[in-house]
Amino acid sequence: MPWFRKKLKGPVIQPPREVPDGLWAKCDKCGEIIYKRELARAFWVCPKCGSHFRIHSGQYIEILIDEGTFEEFDAEIGSVDPLSFVDSKPYPVRLKAAREKTKLNEAIICGIGNIDSISVSFAAMEFGFIGGSMGSALGEKVTRAVERALERRIPLVIVSASGGARMQESILSLMQMAKTGTALTRLHEAGLPYISVLTHPTTAGVMASYASLGDVIIAEPGALLGFAGPRVIQQTIGQELPEGFQSSEFFLDHGFVDLISPRNELKNNLSKLIRFMFESPK
Ligand SMILES: [Zn+2]
């Protein structure tokens, strides 16, 4: 029997075994095959198990910022190679590949935009750019985003996704932890709110600096959060780690995260918090 007749007989058209790029996506958690258009409508959250797919920095702008209000700043800033660092590849080769892949100069987009008609200094990290790592240019961009909030007296929102400091810049990347932290202290002293949004994964140097310094810290469900990996911690403290350790839910239970927000409620939650903490200048 020809294959098309077999297919017509069945009540449901099954997706092909080989999932072509561009049409279908497979949920890593439950294995469900989902039509990508349906996923996009659901903010890239699996309709079966609620798992949050990792999305790009530009998609966070689409989801969280009022349409047509985002103005990007500092797009030209990107890391150079101050240490002439070579691991398996020279650092400039990695940078070039990341720039071609993401169409960004750095692992973060920064700008000004409205959340529910309130102007905010907004930044979203791009995990696809060398694992969302923080080098000296990224630290500079975050610092400028903080300073932009200070200058305009507006709230700051940063969506983080990061594997940590960028090892190719060694101590220069670690110094960004102090630099961004100091800038955020000035924002705090000026009485301006900072909301940090943690997405999967937010770890290491970024988690240990600006991502964990929010006045309010929101996490997406099921995100991996933490400083060092579980194996390193287990070896250091010589104890078994509890189940679910390093998840958004564990962090909420232990007071490190204030709220877990599904992605489809994130904008509404940000809007409510900003309105509660901040009164726009009349
Ligand atoms: Zn799923």
Which of 162, 165, 273, 136 lies closest to 217 in space, CA to CA? 273
User: What spacing in Å lies between the alpha carbon of 248 and ligand 1's midpoint?
Assistant: 17
User: What spacing in Å lies between the alpha carbon of 52 and ligand 1's midpoint?
Assistant: 8
Confidence class of residue 12 from pLDDT cuts 50, 70 and 90?
Answer: very low
User: What spacing in Å lies between the alpha carbon of 62 and ligand 1's midpoint?
Assistant: 23
CA atoms within 13 A on the CB side of 245: 12
Q: Does 174 have pLDDT greater than 50?
A: yes
Cβ–Cβ < 8 Å for 84, 239 = no
To the nearest 10 degrees (0 to 180), the angle between helices 263-277 and 57-64 is 60
pLDDT at position 234 is 87
- Give the CA angle between residues 11, 13, 14 to the nearest 5°: 120
User: What spacing in Å lies between the alpha carbon of 87 and ligand 1's midpoint?
Assistant: 36
- What are the pLDDT digits (tens) for 26-70? 999 999 999 999 998 999 999 999 999 999 999 999 999 999 999
pLDDT at position 13 is 41
Q: Write down the number of H helices and E strands in the chain.
A: 10, 10
pLDDT at position 153 is 96
User: What spacing in Å lies between the alpha carbon of 212 and ligand 1's midpoint?
Assistant: 28
CA atoms within 13 A on the CB side of 144: 16
pLDDT at position 228 is 85
Confidence class of residue 21 from pLDDT cuts 50, 70 and 90?
Answer: low
User: What spacing in Å lies between the alpha carbon of 32 and ligand 1's midpoint?
Assistant: 6
pLDDT at position 19 is 46
User: What spacing in Å lies between the alpha carbon of 45 and ligand 1's midpoint?
Assistant: 8
Fold of 55-277: 2-enoyl-CoA Hydratase; Chain A, domain 1 (3.90.226)
Q: Could you state, in order of their start, the residue ranges of all structural domains in the chain? A: 12-53, 55-277
Coil, strand or helix: which one is 244?
A: coil
- What are the pLDDT digits (tens) for 212-261? 999 999 999 999 999 987 888 888 999 888 888 899 999 999 999 999 99
Among 3-17, 27-41, 173-187, which stretch is predicted with the lowest mean pLDDT?
3-17
Confidence class of residue 281 from pLDDT cuts 50, 70 and 90?
Answer: low
Q: Which residues contact 151 (CB under 8 A, 6 or more apart)?
A: none
pLDDT at position 233 is 87
- What are the pLDDT digits (tens) for 71-130? 999 999 999 999 999 999 999 999 999 999 999 999 999 999 999 999 999 999 999 999
Torsion of CA 212, 218, 220, 222, to 10 degrees: 60
User: What spacing in Å lies between the alpha carbon of 48 and ligand 1's midpoint?
Assistant: 5
User: What spacing in Å lies between the alpha carbon of 261 and ligand 1's midpoint?
Assistant: 17
User: What spacing in Å lies between the alpha carbon of 256 and ligand 1's midpoint?
Assistant: 26
Coil, strand or helix: which one is 41?
A: helix
User: What spacing in Å lies between the alpha carbon of 29 and ligand 1's midpoint?
Assistant: 5
Q: Does 15 have pLDDT greater than 60?
A: no
pLDDT at position 282 is 53
